[in-house]
Structure 1
Amino acid sequence: MITLDCLGQRCPLPVIKLAKSLPQVAVGEIVRVLADDPAAANDIPAWCRMKGQELITAQGHQFDIRRLK
């Protein structure tokens, strides 16, 4: 698992970092995004739906995404 510390960054930067980091992890692995911008609560799940990735956890400022493809 890799962790992306995006605390203090405004959206869409956390989503951009997530998109750039996904090819670095194997299918089935998890990327944890730490993001405190309120927009991340909507943007990260929406990005996962659009890109066919699995949002495992969205609690507070932590989002766990499993790479599916």
Structure 2
Amino acid sequence: MDIRLLRQFWSILAASPNQRLASLDDSSVSKWIVDILKADPTFDPRNLPTVNQYIQTRIPLIRDLSQQA
């Protein structure tokens, strides 16, 4: 993933309420993040497979971050 997409991804997580992420299962977290990215007109849909793979490898970290606060 390029740096712009990484920043966008982590900005979404930083701006999201922790209880929102904690209330979703892994599949729903992935879908929620992808939906936000797809709503951005600058997002290139060709990045979806890479984004989905990245999310799946970061689910434990996303869970840890959502429990901190």
* Structure with greater strand share of residues: 1
Q: TM-score range by the shorter chain?
A: 0.3 to 0.5
Higher relative contact order (CA 8 A, sep 6+): 2
* Structure with greater helix share of residues: 2
Q: Of the two, which has the highest radius of gyration?
A: 2
